[in-house]
Structure 1
Amino acid sequence: MATLLHIDSSAFHESSVSREVTATFRREWESQHPGGTVIYRDLAKDPLPHLTADGFTGSNTPSEQRTPAQAEAVALRDALADEIEQADAIVIGTPMYNFTVPSALKAWLDQVIIGGRTLGPTSTTAGKPTTVVAARGGGYGPGTPREEFEFLTTYLGKVLTELLALDVDFIIPELTLARTVPQMAPLIDAADASRAKAHEDAAAKAKTLAAKLAAA
């Protein structure tokens, strides 16, 4: 049966729009694959360590020559690579923090991008369908005043496609702070519409991917 890798990275839980939308994706996925497997990582609740020199050098050192610190670092990287390799599809939820990804998600990326394995033209993760739910508190789309500050999808698009060779689609709920920031009150209707569309798109994407995998 199909395996889904589900990753959340928002520091918030009940109020997180990215978590809401990835949950919608997962529910639809599980309804299509009741006997399937979901590998779940909550990078905010259980953060990964940042990549260290031992992680870098250990991956390029024969196993019998690794120091204990290198062996431990490599074991973590291998476990994370195993998860992404086992997945038939991936869904990643991320908010925009300071115009880009949360450090918890950056730590996962640094750990899972491994030269000679997941990195490059012979990547073991090449072509895996990946849905990224990228929630943004304001509006950063083309033509908006803050378009040039959008480093969330621009960064992830490059890293996930160019380094991990994943097949990436974005779902982008915007204006998520409209109900909590008084100055954004006029944008509440637009925010609600964006959020509703994100849920619809997530359910539709999960259903489509499930059908493709079932037919494969």
Structure 2
Amino acid sequence: MATLLHLDSSLFPASASASRAVTAAFRQSWEEEHPQGTVIYRDLSANPVPHLDGLAASAAFADPATHTPEQAAAFAGRLKLIEELEQADAVLIGAPMYNFTIPSTLKAWLDQVILMGRTTGPEATTKGTPVTVVASRGGSYAPGTPREGFEYVQNYLRAALTDMLAMDVDFIVPELTLAATNPAMAELIPLAEASRAKALAEAADKGRDLARRLAVTQAV
């Protein structure tokens, strides 16, 4: 049975969040295709993980036998998140753009699970794990647009997830999500609605297809 690790990081509830709506569509499709599977869910906004501190960071480079009680406790929390990621057959991440980049809560999770010599490096334990990222954004930062140079969500996550964790990353990008509430973007509402519909359909298709692919792989 395949395990999906689902992370949301939007500040807003599902009724007001494009990223949550799209990750929900992916997850629903996944569960319908693979009802016997497992979903591990973390709402990083409602229940944020600790920011990486000196104790947890230094413990990673020290012999466990030398850990202070404080180091041991901090590192145990980090290991729980790492093992959760390692045990996942696929990962789903809601990553809305805030101030041109990812939410700090998602960055905190990444800082905890990126561990040199374990989840990164030639023998990365997360190598090849498929990860689908819903990178929603209020405007458009697509190639050729005026704000292309301010796109730090996909660029950063591609580096962190692919170059560091060696995962197989795929993006779904609902954009122009502020069009309905920003009068200056009113003329873009049809494009925003089309982008949302495309993202929802894409999520449903990809959730189903990935569940099927993993089922075949595990059956071999």
Matched pairs, number: 216
**Preserved CA contact (<8 Å) 1:175 1:191:** yes
Q: Take 2:22 and 2:194, find their aligned partners in 1: how far apart are those partners?
A: 13
Residue 100 of structure 2: SS of its match in structure 1?
coil
Residue type of the alignment partner of 2:90 = A
Q: Take 1:11 and 1:120, find their aligned partners in 2: how far apart are those partners?
A: 33
* Structure 1: runs of 5+ lacking an equivalent: none
Q: Take 1:207 and 1:29, find their aligned partners in 2: how far apart are those partners?
A: 5
Task: Tell me what 1:54 maps to.
Answer: 55
Residue type of the alignment partner of 1:145 = P
Task: Tell me what 1:87 maps to.
Answer: 88
Shift of 1:15: 0.4
Shift of 1:215: 1.1
Q: Which string of whole-angstrom CA distances, capped at 9 and with x for unpartnered residues, describes residues 123-170 of structure 1?
A: 100000110000010011011111111111111111100000000000
Task: Tell me what 1:75 maps to.
Answer: 76
Residue 16 of structure 2: SS of its match in structure 1?
coil
Corresponding position: 1:167 with 2:172: no
Shift of 1:64: 2.2
**Preserved CA contact (<8 Å) 1:130 1:166:** yes
* Structure 2: runs of 5+ lacking an equivalent: none
Q: Which string of whole-angstrom CA distances, capped at 9 and with x for unpartnered residues, describes residues 168-201 of structure 1?
A: 0000000000001010000000000000100111
Q: Take 1:51 and 1:84, find their aligned partners in 2: how far apart are those partners?
A: 17
Task: Tell me what 1:22 maps to.
Answer: 23
**Preserved CA contact (<8 Å) 1:120 1:162:** no
Residue type of the alignment partner of 2:55 = D
Task: Tell me what 2:9 maps to.
Answer: 9
Residue type of the alignment partner of 1:4 = L
Q: Take 1:207 and 1:48, find their aligned partners in 2: how far apart are those partners?
A: 29
Shift of 1:208: 1.1
TM-score by length of 1: 0.98
Q: Take 1:81 and 1:44, find their aligned partners in 2: how far apart are those partners?
A: 19
Residue type of the alignment partner of 1:27 = Q
Q: Take 1:49 and 1:214, find their aligned partners in 2: how far apart are those partners?
A: 34
Q: Which string of whole-angstrom CA distances, capped at 9 and with x for unpartnered residues, describes residues 84-142 of structure 1?
A: 11111110001100100010000000000011210122110000011000001001101
**Preserved CA contact (<8 Å) 1:7 1:41:** yes
Task: Tell me what 2:193 maps to.
Answer: 192
Runs of 4+ aligned residues of structure 1 deviating over 2 Å after TM superposition are none
Task: Tell me what 1:104 maps to.
Answer: 105
**Preserved CA contact (<8 Å) 1:130 1:167:** yes
Alignment of 1:122-137 (within 5 A): 122-137=123-138
Task: Tell me what 2:65 maps to.
Answer: 64
Fraction of identical pairs, as percent: 60
Shift of 1:213: 1.0
Residue 135 of structure 1: SS of its match in structure 2?
coil
Residue 81 of structure 1: SS of its match in structure 2?
helix
TM-score by length of 2: 0.96
Q: Take 1:76 and 1:180, find their aligned partners in 2: how far apart are those partners?
A: 40
**Preserved CA contact (<8 Å) 1:10 1:95:** yes
**Preserved CA contact (<8 Å) 1:91 1:132:** yes
Residue type of the alignment partner of 1:23 = A
Q: Alpha carbon RMSD of aligned pairs, Å? A: 0.7
